[in-house]
Structure 1
Amino acid sequence: MPLSEHEQRLLEQMERALYAEDPKFASALEGTGLRTYTRRRVYQAAAGFVVGIALLMGGMVAQLIWVSVVGFLVMLGCAVLAVTGWRRGPVGHGAGAKATPAPSRKAGVMDRMEQRWQRRRDEHDGL
């Protein structure tokens, strides 16, 4: 379904605000697309996870506990990045996305922003 003129203007305003706030991030999304950006982030997290395993094993072999702990923390951090990157990917954020969060999880920042956006649209349409 095509966007109305009002929606197109709002989208352009949001894009300009994104460029003004974080031009590096905006250009990264513009050049490659959100799906590619998300996929790359997940691959980087997987590579970091492998580095964490190497640190963990190297620390065990060298009997350096602190290296093993650092390796575990790297693995944990990369696993969290990969899972959140996978879940927050382009699926669920787009033209067919629901305005309310799923009842089984807490509302995140993006969900709250979508709810506010939907309320503003509804208020504007009601005028």
Structure 2
Amino acid sequence: MPLSEEELRLLEQMERALSEEDPKFASTLRGTTLRQAARRRAVLAGLVFAVGVAVMMTGAVSSYWPVGVAGFVIMLASATILLSALRGQRAGTDPRVAAHPSGFGVVDGGRGRRGRSHDRSSGFMDTLHSRWRRRKGNSGF
């Protein structure tokens, strides 16, 4: 359900007042610091991954397998952190959140955090339910 003109005007006034009163908090709400933190984590994880490759290769060259295994574990952990940081960056560009001139995101009333496959199956089920209701209405039961 969209907001009325008056509600939008009041929301914009509240956002402006918040930005003027506490700019740091407003920038946090805009998500710029979250994206920067995710980017920083991704770069750091990439560097740690390179260190893990070096440790693993050192273990392979020196024929001391525990060092190689440790390098592999370092690579695995950093790759996991890297992927979660990249997902965190993508989460900031949620298609259900509409851009607002003030820089704040306004949720468009989507279905929450459900995946696309669930949305498709839900649409499929809605179609089946409507067909069932039409058949039941036309058959005279």
**What TM-score results when the alignment is normalised by the length of structure 2?**
0.49
Q: Structure 1: 5+ residue runs without aligned partners?
A: 13-26, 106-127
- The yes-or-no answer on 1:92 pairing with 2:105 is no
Matched residue, 2:76: 76
User: Do the aligned partners of 2:49 and 2:78 also contact (CA within 8 Å) in 1?
Assistant: yes
> CA separation of 1:103/1:64 partners in 2, compared to 1, >3 Å: closer, same or farther?
same
Mind listing any 5+ residue stretches in structure 2 that lack a counterpart? 19-24, 99-106, 119-141
Structure with larger Rg: 2
Q: Deviations over 1:31-77 (max 9, x none)?
A: x7111111000000000100000000000111110000010011011
Whichever residue aligns with residue 62 of structure 2, its letter is A
Moved more, 94-103 or 69-78: 94-103
Counterpart in the other structure of 2:115: 102
RMSD, aligned α-carbons = 3.4
How many matched pairs? Answer: 86
Q: Distance in 1 between matches of 2:49 and 2:10?
A: 44
Aligned match of 1:46: 46
* Paired-residue identity, %: 27
Structure 1 pair 91/60, CA: closer, same or farther in 2 (3 Å)?
A: same
**What's the CA shift for 1:92?**
2.5
> Which residue identity is paired with 1:52?
G
